[in-house]
Amino acid sequence: MTYTSLSLTLIFVLIPLLLSKTLKLGLEKDTLIATIRSIIQLLAVGYILKFVFDAQSYIYIFLMIALMILAATLNARKKGKGIKGITWKIAVTLITVECVTQGVLLGFDIVPSTAQYIIPISGMMIGNSMVLSVLFLNRFTSEIASHQNEIELILSLGGTPKQAIHRQLMQAIKASMIPTIESQKTIGLVQLPGMMSGQIIGGADPIHAVQFQLLIIFALLTAATLSSIMIGFLSYPALFNERMQVLETK
Task: Identify the weakest region by mean pLDDT among 55-59, 120-124, 185-189.
Answer: 185-189
Q: What is the pLDDT of residue 1?
A: 67
Please tell me the predicted confidence (pLDDT) of residue 250.
Answer: 55
Please count the CA atoms within 13 angstroms of the CA of 125 that sit on its side-chain side: 29
Residue 5: the pLDDT is: 84
Q: What is the mean pLDDT of residues 114-121?
A: 92
Q: Of the segments 141-150, 163-172, 195-204, which one has the largest average pLDDT value?
A: 163-172
* pTM, two decimal places: 0.83
Which pLDDT tens digit goes with each residue over 5-35? 888 888 999 999 999 999 988 999 999 999 9
pLDDT, average across residues 192-219:
83
Q: What phi-psi label fits residue 247: left (phi over 0), alpha (psi between -120 and 50 degrees) or beta? A: beta
Residue 164 neighbours by CB under 8 Å, 6+ apart: 151, 152, 154, 155, 246
User: Domain coordinates of the chain in residue numbers?
Assistant: 1-55, 61-239
pLDDT at 143 over 80: yes
130 vs 134: CA distance, rounded Å:
6
Q: What is the pLDDT confidence band of residue 126, given thresholds at 50, 70 and 90? A: very high
Over the chain, what is the mean pLDDT?
Answer: 88
- Which pLDDT score is estimated for 248? 62
When pLDDT is cut at 50, 70 and 90, the band that residue 124 belongs to is: very high
Q: Which residues contact 184 (CB under 8 A, 6 or more apart)?
A: 217, 220, 221
The better pLDDT of the pair 238, 106 is held by: 106
